[in-house]
């Protein structure tokens, strides 16, 4: 088991490094002077030259990359010229807010998605099924920024039940979590439903019925445990989707999280900040995938025995 986990971690590392390389190349090999772009307003020649020297911008790309990588491994993700703070510090301030939002959204999506999926599978093709599946379809088809604005309009501006924006207390999380969790809930509901339907056709379900279990017993003791395995793994992978969605949700609801940090980095042309925050976000995604793999192996005893067996 430990071997499995270690192997999984070892595989993730090259992917992470590859990503830093891609990111670095994209952001640092652009035509044009990044410093001049950053400091459009105060563009005095020797200030620019000084900053360039400070950032070692005239060194070859490989050297700069390695220097960046070395620093990153020690936790230093660069320095934001615009905000004059360490990128790592900025991220660490913003990240907990995104974490809270994402956790709340994930909770929303599980609490709604899994029961909806189970009910839909058990009452296949009924009104309940169609309703939930329609709801899920809307969830993945509605642009997040639109549902965010709509929610804001209805519940905050018109009804006044919840605050419009900001992040000063627990009630500020409710609307954003629902908005962000809705599309996730849709994915989870669909997956739960299809997984359960598939499992219900398998032989061991027939065995369970032959033993005289009630249908509820068949589902809860036999079907669910198997059916939920892919759902659990999806939940960990949803991290990527949640982060993307968080960007927009935070923008609309004014939540000072990682997403909004990235957006303001783009708008301010703050390259080190953008680089650092995107890198951090991607690392989170990779972590999520890792957790998914490990979870899957814990839940499915067949996988546990095959050390380091590649899933998918």
Can you give the binding site for another protein, defined by CB under 8 A?
A: 14-15, 18-19, 22-23, 26-27, 30, 137-138, 141-146, 149-150, 152-153, 157, 194, 198, 202-204, 206-214, 217, 221-222, 225-226, 229, 240-241, 243-245, 247-248, 251-252, 262-263, 266-267, 269, 274, 278, 281-282, 285-286, 289, 299-302, 305
Cβ-based nearer residue to another protein, 45 or 210? 210
Cβ-based nearer residue to another protein, 104 or 281? 281
* Least distance between another protein and beta carbon 47 (Å): 23
Q: Which two tokens stand for residue 115?
A: 């029961």
Cβ-based nearer residue to another protein, 50 or 225? 225
* Least distance between another protein and beta carbon 184 (Å): 14
3-state secondary structure (DSSP) of residue 80: strand
Cβ-based nearer residue to another protein, 18 or 44? 18
User: Cα(first)–Cα(last) distance of the chain, in Å?
Assistant: 19
* Least distance between another protein and beta carbon 190 (Å): 9
Torsion-angle region of residue 163: left (phi > 0), alpha (psi -120 to 50) or beta?
A: beta
DSSP 236-287: HHHHHHHHHHHHHHHHHHT--SHHHHHHHHHHTT-HHHHHHHHHHHHHHHHH
* Least distance between another protein and beta carbon 259 (Å): 9
Q: Can you state the angle between helices 171-200 and 224-253, rounded to 10 degrees?
A: 150
Cβ-based nearer residue to another protein, 14 or 60? 14
* Least distance between another protein and beta carbon 114 (Å): 17
DSSP 269-282: T-HHHHHHHHHHHH
Cα angle: 260, vertex 261, 264; to 5 degrees: 85
Cβ-based nearer residue to another protein, 48 or 202? 202
Residue 171 · residue 162 · CB < 8 Å: yes
* Least distance between another protein and beta carbon 2 (Å): 20
Cβ-based nearer residue to another protein, 71 or 145? 145
* Least distance between another protein and beta carbon 127 (Å): 17
What is the rounded CA–CA span in Å between residue 75 and residue 240? 22
Strands (E), the chain: 79-80, 85-86
Q: Can you state the angle between helices 271-299 and 224-253, rounded to 10 degrees?
A: 160
């Amino acid at each position: 088991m430990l071997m499995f986990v270690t192997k999984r971690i070892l595989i993730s590392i090259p992917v992470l490094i590859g990503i830093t390389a891609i990111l670095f190349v994209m952001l640092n090999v652009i035509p044009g002077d990044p410093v001049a772009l950053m400091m459009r307003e105060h563009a005095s020649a020797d200030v620019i030259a000084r900053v360039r020297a400070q950032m070692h911008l005239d060194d070859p790309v490989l050297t700069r990359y390695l220097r960046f990588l070395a620093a990153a491994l020690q936790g230093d993700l660069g320095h934001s010229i615009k905000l004059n703070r360490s990128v790592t510090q900025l991220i660490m301030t913003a990240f907990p807010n995104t974490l809270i939002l994402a956790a709340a959204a994930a909770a929303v999506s599980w609490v709604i998605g899994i029961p909806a999926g189970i009910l839909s599978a058990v009452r296949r093709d009924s009104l309940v099924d169609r309703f939930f599946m329609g709801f899920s379809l809307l969830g993945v088809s509605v642009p997040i920024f639109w549902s965010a604005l709509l929610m804001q309009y209805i519940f905050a501006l018109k009804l006044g039940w919840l605050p419009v924006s900001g992040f000063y207390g627990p009630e500020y999380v409710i609307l954003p979590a629902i908005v962000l969790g809705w599309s996730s809930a849709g994915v989870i509901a669909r997956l739960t439903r299809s997984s359960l339907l598939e499992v219900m056709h398998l032989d061991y379900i027939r065995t369970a019925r032959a033993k005289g279990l009630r249908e509820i017993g068949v589902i809860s003791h036999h079907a669910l445990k198997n059916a939920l395995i892919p759902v659990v793994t999806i939940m960990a992978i949803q991290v990527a989707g949640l982060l993307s969605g968080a960007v927009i949700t935070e923008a609309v609801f004014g939540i000072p999280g990682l997403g909004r940090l990235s957006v303001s980095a783009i708008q301010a042309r703050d390259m080190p900040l953008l680089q650092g925050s995107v890198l951090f976000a991607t690392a989170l995604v990779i972590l999520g995938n890792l957790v998914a793999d490990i979870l899957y192996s814990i839940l499915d005893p067949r996988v546990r025995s095959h050390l380091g067996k590649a899933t998918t």
